[in-house]
Amino acid sequence: MSSGQESVFTEYETDTSQTSKLLRKFKETPFVPIGMAGFAAVVGYGLYRLKHRGDMKMSLHLIHMRVAAQGFVVGAITCGVLYSMFREYVVKPKE
């Protein structure tokens, strides 16, 4: 890049640490980290309940855990899409 041209991505080039990238991503799309945290919580709870599942079959327990984790992630994605549509079409002032 020549010295006379400015970089288009100056904000992205200066923020290179993982923490700053995660914070920027959380500000841009807050439902992505929420979905990831919910997925981790469901999986953690499922693994905890694995020991105390009683006479339930292992495959049935894993299917229930997978469906719950996927449901949380799909719900977070849906909320994120609805939030961005609300922000784009309802809150944004008419030009």
What's the pLDDT tens digit per position in 67-77?
Answer: 998 998 899 88
Show me where the domains of the chain are located.
1-54, 55-94
Whole-Å CA distances, 91 to 23, 30, 76, 84, 85: 23, 17, 21, 10, 9
What's the chain's average pLDDT? 80
88, HSE (Cβ side, Cα atoms, 13 Å): 6
Q: 2-6, 17-21, 55-59: which range is least confident on average? A: 2-6
What's the pLDDT tens digit per position in 8-34?
Answer: 555 555 557 888 877 887 787 777 778
